[in-house]
Homo-oligomer: A and B are copies of this chain.
Amino acid sequence: MRIGILGYGNLGRGVEYAVKENSDMELAAVFTRRNPETLKINTENVPVVHVDDAEKWTDKIDVMILCGGSATDLPEQTPKFAKLFNVIDSFDTHAKIPEHFAAVDKAAKDSSHVAIISVGWDPGLFSLARLYFNSILPDGKDYTFWGKGVSQGHSDAVRRISGVKNAKQYTVPIEKALEEVRSGKNPELSTRQKHLRECFVVLEEGADAEKIEQEIKTMPNYFADYDTTVNFISEEEFLKNHGGLAHGGFVIRSGNTGENKIHNHIAEFNLKLDSNPEFTGSVLAAYARAAFKLCGERLFGCKTVLDIPPIYLSSKSAYELRANIV
């Protein structure tokens, strides 16, 4: 299976590592909007190609993995490249998934390609957990918690404040809320009761720390509805301790069955990830395998993780999986 990577940031590098782990895949080329000659990738002897030349590669790539951002890149790129290749993306703007799906589905069907969108862990594996748990326990309540991990949007919001030199924001699930959910009490939880926000901020010389702390804590949408802590640190400490890309989260459903619904069941899926982009890249690679198989069966069009038979993710035979995994 010949894989192309389009976009070589953190996620692109994560996919590159994942392709190396899968012996039935090889990296055919990396596509970039930058000058290809200036881009150094981790794999030897793999060409770096300008994205404008991608259409010359249609017979050399089985699945193109799109590693751009959801805000502006993917809404344009995924329909465009679904006309040329089988594609995978990690589109994560939940509210716009139906719209994105429709655009990609048309492009993929018109050109006989397979596209799988919104692949990763949320959306992605967490969507799967929500679907399985809801289908099995129709009378129940779902909870999704995120973290501990970095929120890029919230970090950006803090960095935009005047006097802030650098900032990182961690979303932290509140242990007490998690325990209440796991106990089967089906609590009603406010935004403030589910997650904390922790900020680590490097100030510009002479900036007013107290004023900035207030500005962060009262920022509407981003922080006002949460308990937020603000830690001012040196640039040295920031670079040393806050460069990581760890993340994770929890999907928990609590449901009831039986006479008078006396029996409670808790189903929980959780992830603890040292590197969000490397794990997401690993999910994208597994779904690239599924896209390749679906294309072989001429099941063209756009899909989400909900549509894909789990067995399509594996490199092993159906017989082997029945004997060893079921």
Contact = CB atoms under 8 A, between A and B. Distances in A.
Interface of A: 14, 17-18, 21-22, 42, 94, 97-98, 101, 118, 123, 125, 127-132, 134-139, 182, 255, 257-259, 262-275, 278-279, 281-283, 286, 289, 304-311, 313-315, 318-319, 321-323, 325-326
A45 to B, nearest CB: 18
Nearest to A266: B272
B257 A278 contact: yes
Nearest to A308: B309
29 contacts: A17-B257, A21-B139, A42-B259, A97-B322, A97-B323, A98-B319, A118-B326, A127-B326, A131-B321, A132-B310, A135-B310, A135-B313, A135-B314, A136-B279, A136-B282, A137-B282, A255-B282, A258-B275, A258-B278, A262-B274, A263-B275, A263-B278, A266-B271, A306-B311, A306-B322, A306-B325, A307-B311, A309-B309, A310-B310
Given A14-B257, A136-B286, A321-B306, A94 B267 contact: no
A257 B272 contact: no
What is the predominant secondary structure among interface residues of chain A facing chain B? helix
Contact of A282 (B97, B130, B257, B269): B257
Give the 3 A-B CB pairs with smallest separation, nearest first. A135-B313, A263-B274, A263-B275
Given A123-B326, A132-B125, A309-B307, A265 B257 contact: no
Stoichiometry, as copies per complex, reads 2
Nearest to A101: B322
A279 B307 contact: no
A125 B306 CA distance: 15
Given A97-B323, A139-B21, A257-B18, A270 B268 contact: yes
A118 B321 CA distance: 13
A275 B304 contact: no
A196 to B, nearest CB: 21
A136 B101 CA distance: 23
A140 to B, nearest CB: 10
A27 to B, nearest CB: 15
Contacts of A309: 306-309
A24 to B, nearest CB: 10
Contacts of A21: 138-139, 257
A264 B272 CA distance: 8
